[in-house]
Amino acid sequence: MTTDRTPAPGSRPDPVLRCADVTRTFGRGDARVHALQGVTLGVRPGELLVVRGPSGSGKTTLLHVLGGLDAPTAGRVWLGERELTALPADDVLAARRDEIGYVFQAFGLVPVLSAAENVEVPLRLRRVPPAERAARVADALERVGLAGHADQRPYELSGGQQQRVGIARALVAAPRVLLADEPTGQLDSATGRRVMDLLRELVHTAGTAAVVTTHDPELVARADRVVDLHDGSLRTSDR
Ligand SMILES: Nc1ncnc2c1ncn2[C@@H]1O[C@H](COP(=O)(O)OP(=O)(O)OP(=O)(O)O)[C@@H](O)[C@H]1O
Take atom 12 of ligand 1 and give the residue whose Cα is closest: 35
Ligand 1 atom closest to residue 57's alpha carbon, by position in its atom list: 21
Q: Which residues 6+ apart lie within 8 Å of 173 measured at CB? A: 98, 101, 122, 123, 126, 128, 136
Positions of the chain with pLDDT under 70: 1-10, 236-239
Distance 86 CA to ligand 1 centre (A): 24
> What per-residue confidence (pLDDT) applies to 85?
95
Ligand 1: which of 24, 32, 33, 211 to mutate, most ligand atoms within 8 Å of CB?
33
Strand partners, 236: 227
ipTM score for this prediction? 0.97
Q: How many whole angstroms from its chain centre is CA 76? A: 18
| End-to-end CA gap in the chain | 43
Assign 3-class secondary structure to 25-62. Answer: EECCHHHCEEEEEEEEEEECCCCEEEEECCCCCCHHHH
> What per-residue confidence (pLDDT) applies to 1?
45
Q: Give the pairing of strands 74-79 and 48-52.
A: unpaired
Which amino acid does the sequence have at 51? Answer: V
User: How many angstroms separate the CA atoms of 219 and 189, rounded?
Assistant: 9
Take atom 7 of ligand 1 and give the residue whose Cα is closest: 26
Domain locations along the chain: 17-108+175-236
> What per-residue confidence (pLDDT) applies to 10?
64
> What per-residue confidence (pLDDT) applies to 189?
84
Distance 56 CA to ligand 1 centre (A): 5
CATH class of the domain whose range is 17-108+175-236? alpha beta
Name every protein residue with a CB atom under 6 angstroms from any ligand 1 atom: 26-27, 33, 35, 53, 55-61, 215
> What per-residue confidence (pLDDT) applies to 2?
46
Alpha helices in the chain (DSSP H): 59-66, 89-99, 115-125, 130-143, 159-171, 189-206, 217-220
> What per-residue confidence (pLDDT) applies to 218?
73
> What per-residue confidence (pLDDT) applies to 128?
95
> What per-residue confidence (pLDDT) applies to 104?
86
Is residue 65 within 8 A of residue 23, CB to CB? The reply is no
pTM: 0.91
Distance 66 CA to ligand 1 centre (A): 15
Ligand 1 atom closest to residue 36's alpha carbon, by position in its atom list: 14
pLDDT tens readout for residues 198-226: 889 989 999 999 999 988 877 888 999 99
> What per-residue confidence (pLDDT) applies to 219?
80
Which amino acid does the sequence have at 107? Answer: F
Which amino acid does the sequence have at 104? Answer: F
